[in-house]
Amino acid sequence: MADRTVVAWSPDFPVIACGGTGSEPVAVVDRDMVVACSAAARADGVRRRMRLRSAQACSPQLRVVERDLVAEVRAFERVAAHLEATVRSRATVRSGGDDFAVTHRFEPAEERLEAVAFAAKALADRFHDRLAAAGAVAARLEAVVDLADDRRLARVYRHEGRLSSLAVTERVRGVLQAWTEAGALGDGDGPERGIAALTLRPEQLSQDAGRQTVLFGDRHTSEEIERAAARVQAILGHQSVVSMETIGGRAPAERVRLVPFGDVADARRDPDGPWPGRLPAPYPAATFPQQVPAELVDTDGRPVAVSGRLALSAAPALVAVDGYDRAAVTGWAGPWPVLERWWDRDGARRIARMQVTAADGRAWLMVIEQGRWWAEAHYG
């Protein structure tokens, strides 16, 4: 008789895990982006992958909760336990899973969950190294905990080559906390207590159709870089290793985003999409993290103003940027108007930009907002 697969779906589970209800507007966010929201929040117009500020504009009473993956795993363990009592686990489709299994034994048995989670990180590294050496990838990963009282607990996760060592560690930590709260690890009163061994075992192995390694002796392949980045993130935090992504935007600083290594950039901000008011080429060599106070004055020393019709009050004569010497203006281009978020009363912004060259050889991207000049970037 052929096996049949049943999919259990729990809508808005991150909201449920944080204690939210469907009648309360709740948004679970991760790095300033909505990853889940309640029915009441959706009724107000909040949607997944929406920026937090936009979500709060749609729902003023929105309760915002930072995502806690460990708490979600801990909460879902109760669901998984009920499912296991109803249906049997599916058997491994392909043999050989034990050949790639890795185990860490605790002598004596370990009772501290953080110590077990720390061992899980090193174990996950060994697990991935062993699969990589064999050119294999696992569709699922089984974490098996052997207790000192001879009981065994296990949990299976989808892997498909996408779980980093840090992600595996987070899932192991979450399920251990859930088992502890449920009393599955023991009450701690008996003579035999604690975790004796932790095993990671792959299921449904297949050939890894990865990328060709680097030629001509360069040993720093993409896989090695990814593994090294994951190790640094595990030690220093998820934000410690970032990559630079080009995204859509009008200002130079808006078009560059630092994305934690392994995360996916915001696909909605297409760099090739229409961005009215986008700065024309040539683009600056460097942008400032924050706008720098500046002055742009005419020959009489009065600040140069920009009218609503984009007319300059006078020709620029001198430019001064905090931290740099005042210099004579040798040329300029612009101004170019930008009207951002005109529909948002609190977030609306009306500015004008100019490119200014100076006698000292520097060139600046200047912006005027509410009558005040700022330096936004420089051209080297």
Given a cut of 50, is residue 216 above it in pLDDT? no
Establish how many alpha carbons lie within 13 A of residue 308's alpha carbon, considering only the half-sphere containing its beta carbon: 0
Domain range summary for the chain, segments of one domain joined by +? 13-67, 74-78+89-207, 213-278, 286-378
Residue 27 has phi, psi (to 5 degrees) of: -130, 130
- State pLDDT tens for residues 85-123: 666 554 333 334 766 889 999 988 888 888 898 899 899
Q: Checking DSSP bridges between strand 63-66 and strand 26-30, what pairing results, if any?
A: parallel
What is residue 155's three-state secondary structure?
strand
What is the dihedral angle through the alpha carbons of 64, 70, 75, 79, rounded to the nearest 10 degrees? 130
Number of H helices, E strands in the chain: 7, 15
Residue 189's pLDDT is what?
A: 58
pLDDT at 222 over 70: no
pLDDT at res. 202: 87
Distances, alpha carbon 258 to alpha carbons 49, 246, 271, in Å: 17, 9, 15
The amino acid occupying position 193 is R
The confidence score (pLDDT) of residue 8 equals 67
- For residue 309, give Cα distances in angstroms to 21, 279, 305, 335: 51, 19, 11, 10
Task: Tell me: pLDDT of 250 over 90.
Answer: no
Q: Select, from the ranges 41-50, 170-179, 271-280, the one with the highest average predicted confidence (pLDDT).
A: 41-50
Comparing 88 with 332, the larger pLDDT belongs to 332
The architecture CATH gives domain 13-67: 3-Layer(aba) Sandwich (3.40)
Going by C-alpha positions, the residue among 237, 241, 102 that lies closest to residue 172 is 102
What is the model's pLDDT at position 243?
76
User: Measured between alpha carbons, how far is 10 from 1 in angstroms, rounded to an integer?
Assistant: 29
pLDDT at residue 273 in the model: 66
**8-state DSSP, 329:** E
Structure tokens at 380: 């080297």
Q: Classify domain 74-78+89-207 by CATH architecture.
A: 2-Layer Sandwich (3.30)
